[in-house]
DNA sequence: TGAAATGTTGGGGCG
DNA sequence: ACGCCCCAACATTTC
């Protein structure tokens, strides 16, 4: 029998392994192995995963697959499964992540004598090892990377519009799968239920999100993408993270737009950043644990657990930072502009190791992927490739005033700031006694006092990071 | 996709 | 009319 091993590719369309499997066979098996080791205990993604599994099982069963859901280490489970079901051929799609590539190696080494393995295309536009500078070394700057990668991609691929098969509405559920998900994947405490009203996992929804965005939102993307109070970005990221839609499908949409303008290009650039992150992660796999620029290894990070906790909870006293963290808790997602502000605050204002932030985002984001998360954090910290220089420090007050002028975003997530005058919405500690009395606002009762003074924190960060540079 | 400090320019008030 | 000062607006440099 043939086996389609489902990894992070919960889709019917543009799924290389799935296209190949069972072409000649009647009975087809699909297997997803839930490896608990790969998720932190409190990972929000367990919720998305569970929902997308439930839907994907239905879609696969329509195609004649019998879907199995098992728990454990992928390698061990696969070995046993292949034996138990007398599998003759395995089909799966490649994942360009160092640990997954190791797993691939282990699997192919073990099975190669006894069965055939088909390894399909990954969820990247191309193999990261195919893109190199003329001198043979990997790119470390985004712009030249993307310029080169796009040409490479267009030359190597048929990028005419990918015809998407319609995904059926799924009304039924498989009780066995639902029970497994409930008992094995989802935590006992149902804290994740709040996501149900916000997100709709699944391939059908992913395609709808893309199409709606392309129809309605992209025409103002370059302007709106930076305003966190506006629905200006696609919010496709969790769908992409679970492979419900591919970069290739998105690129194909982009490529078939007749009059491309700055909005389209800015949007597709974000797919480029994802490619770049995975490019870096594959060429420099050590960055998962270590600073790409090793001089940062000498940096003395703060060990202030209290401030770290306050950052996580959104109690820093800087409205734009705290609003971002609240949005993250409530929705499992944070606006990109605010990701930059909050992460810069942790690394520069609090001088806490980026790994703390990386780990927290890993648990909290529904759209977490290892490439973007690692590279994003190293970029903000200045220790990554093409990174922000040490002196680039976001001012949380100014950023708020620039990108959340009327405080709509801040007020949405921090209702206790509702009556603060616009002028002071990003620095409520400056409110004068008379106004405070009038609106009934008391700083340490209704909101937090800033845990650090911006000016002092900025100067301390400059000194600390500057010393590092001269070492 | 940074912010703050410092430098330059030019208009207006004023003696 | 002129010189001086102030300061906003913009430009450049620095961190």
Please name the nucleotide lying closest to A462, CA to C1': C15
Q: Strand, helix or coil at A302?
A: strand
- Quick one: tokens of A429? 């500690």
Footprint of strand B on the protein (CB under 7 A): A 142, 226, 273, 340, 388, 391-395, 398-399, 402, 454-455, 458
- Report the distance from CA of residue A160 to the C1' of nucleotide B1 in Å, as an integer: 32
Please, what is the average pLDDT of chain A? 95
Weakest mean pLDDT among A166-170, A204-208, A277-281, A404-408: A166-170
* ∠ CA A121-A244-A235, rounded to 5°: 120
Does the model's pTM come out above 0.85?
yes
Q: Look at A44-48, A128-132, A357-361 and tell me which has the smallest mean pLDDT.
A: A128-132
Task: In whole angstroms, give the CA distance from residue A222 to residue A408.
Answer: 20
Percent of chain A with pLDDT over 90: 91
How many CB atoms are located within 10 Å of the residue A359 CB?
14
Is the model's pLDDT at A470 over the cut of 60?
A: no
Nucleic strand C near CB of residue A462 (< 7 Å): yes
Distance CA A234, CA A211 (A): 10
Whether A33 and A77 have beta carbons less than 8 Å apart is answered as yes
Backbone angles phi, psi at A148, to 5 degrees: -70, -45
Q: How many CA atoms lie within 13 A of A197 on its CB side?
A: 4
Whole-number pLDDT of residue A226: 96
Q: What is the pLDDT of residues A117-162, one digit of tens each?
A: 999 999 999 999 999 999 999 999 999 999 999 999 998 877 777 8
Model pLDDT, residue A25:
64
| A469 contact to strand C (CB, 7 A limit) | no
Confidence of residue A469 (pLDDT cuts 50, 70, 90): low
Chain A residues 383 to 412 whose Cβ lies within 7 Å of strand C are 391
Find and list the nucleotides of strand B having atoms within 7 Å of a protein beta carbon.
1-4
Looking at residue A113, its pLDDT comes to 84
The residue with tokens 């559920």 is A173
pLDDT for res A112: 87
Q: Which residue has the higher pLDDT, A174 or A160?
A: A174
Read off the pLDDT band of A88 (50, 70, 90). Answer: very high
Percent of chain A with pLDDT over 70: 99
- Position A287 pLDDT exceeds 70: yes
Q: Is the CB of A191 under 7 A from strand C?
A: no
How far is residue A319 from each of residues A153, A256, A392, measured CA to CA in Å? 42, 41, 20
Residue A468 (CA) to nucleotide B6 (C1'), in angstroms, measures 26
- Our CA angle for A294, A299, A300, nearest 5°, is 150
The CA–CA distances, whole Å, from A436 to A420, A421, A422, A427, A449 equal: 8, 10, 13, 13, 14
Q: Is the pLDDT of residue A24 over 70?
A: no
Supply the pLDDT for residue A170.
Answer: 80
């Amino acid at each position: 029998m043939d086996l389609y091993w489902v990894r992070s590719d919960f889709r019917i369309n543009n799924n290389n392994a799935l296209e190949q499997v069972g072409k000649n066979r009647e009975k087809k098996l699909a297997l997803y192995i839930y490896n608990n080791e790969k998720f932190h205990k409190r990972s929000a993604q367990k919720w998305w995963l569970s929902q997308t599994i439930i839907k994907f099982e239905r879609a696969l069963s329509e195609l004649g697959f019998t879907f199995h859901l098992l728990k454990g280490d992928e390698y061990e489970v696969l070995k046993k499964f292949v034996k138990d079901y007398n599998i003759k051929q395995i089909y799966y799609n490649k994942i360009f992540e160092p640990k997954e590539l190791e797993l691939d190696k282990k699997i192919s080494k073990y099975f190669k004598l006894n069965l055939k393995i088909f390894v399909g295309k990954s969820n990247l536009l191309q193999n990261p090892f195919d893109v190199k500078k003329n001198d043979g070394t990997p790119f470390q700057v985004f712009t030249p990377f993307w310029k080169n990668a796009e040409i490479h991609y267009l030359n190597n691929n048929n990028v005419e519009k990918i015809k998407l098969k319609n995904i059926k509405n799924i009304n039924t559920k498989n009780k066995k799968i639902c029970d497994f998900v409930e008992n094995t994947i989802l935590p006992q405490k149902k804290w994740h239920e709040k996501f149900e009203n916000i997100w709709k996992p699944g391939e059908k929804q992913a395609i709808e999100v893309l199409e709606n965005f392309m129809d309605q939102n992209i025409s103002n993307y370059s302007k709106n993408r930076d305003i966190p109070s506006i629905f200006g970005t696609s919010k496709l990221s969790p769908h992409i993270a679970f492979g419900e839609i591919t970069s290739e499908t998105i690129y194909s949409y982009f490529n078939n737009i007749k009059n491309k303008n700055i909005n389209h290009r800015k949007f597709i650039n974000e797919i480029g950043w994802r490619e770049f992150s995975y490019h870096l992660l594959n060429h420099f796999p050590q960055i998962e644990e270590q600073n790409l620029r090793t001089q940062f290894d000498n940096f003395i990070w703060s060990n202030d657990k209290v401030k770290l906790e306050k950052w996580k909870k959104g109690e820093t006293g800087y409205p734009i930072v705290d609003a971002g963290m609240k949005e993250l808790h409530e929705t499992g997602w944070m606006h990109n502009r605010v990701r930059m502000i909050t992460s810069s605050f942790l690394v520069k204002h609090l001088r806490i190791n980026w790994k703390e932030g990386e780990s927290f985002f890993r648990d909290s984001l529904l759209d977490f992927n290892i490439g973007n998360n690692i590279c994003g954090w190293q970029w903000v910290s200045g220790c990554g490739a093409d990174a922000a220089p040490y002196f680039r420090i976001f001012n949380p007050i100014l950023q708020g005033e620039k990108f959340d002028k009327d405080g709509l975003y801040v007020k949405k997530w921090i209702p206790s700031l509702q009556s603060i005058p616009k002028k002071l919405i990003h620095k409520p500690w400056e409110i004068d006694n008379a106004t405070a009395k009038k609106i009934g606002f008391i700083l340490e009762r209704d909101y937090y006092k800033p845990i650090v003074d911006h000016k002092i924190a900025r100067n301390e960060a400059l000194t600390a990071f500057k010393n590092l540079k001269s070492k």
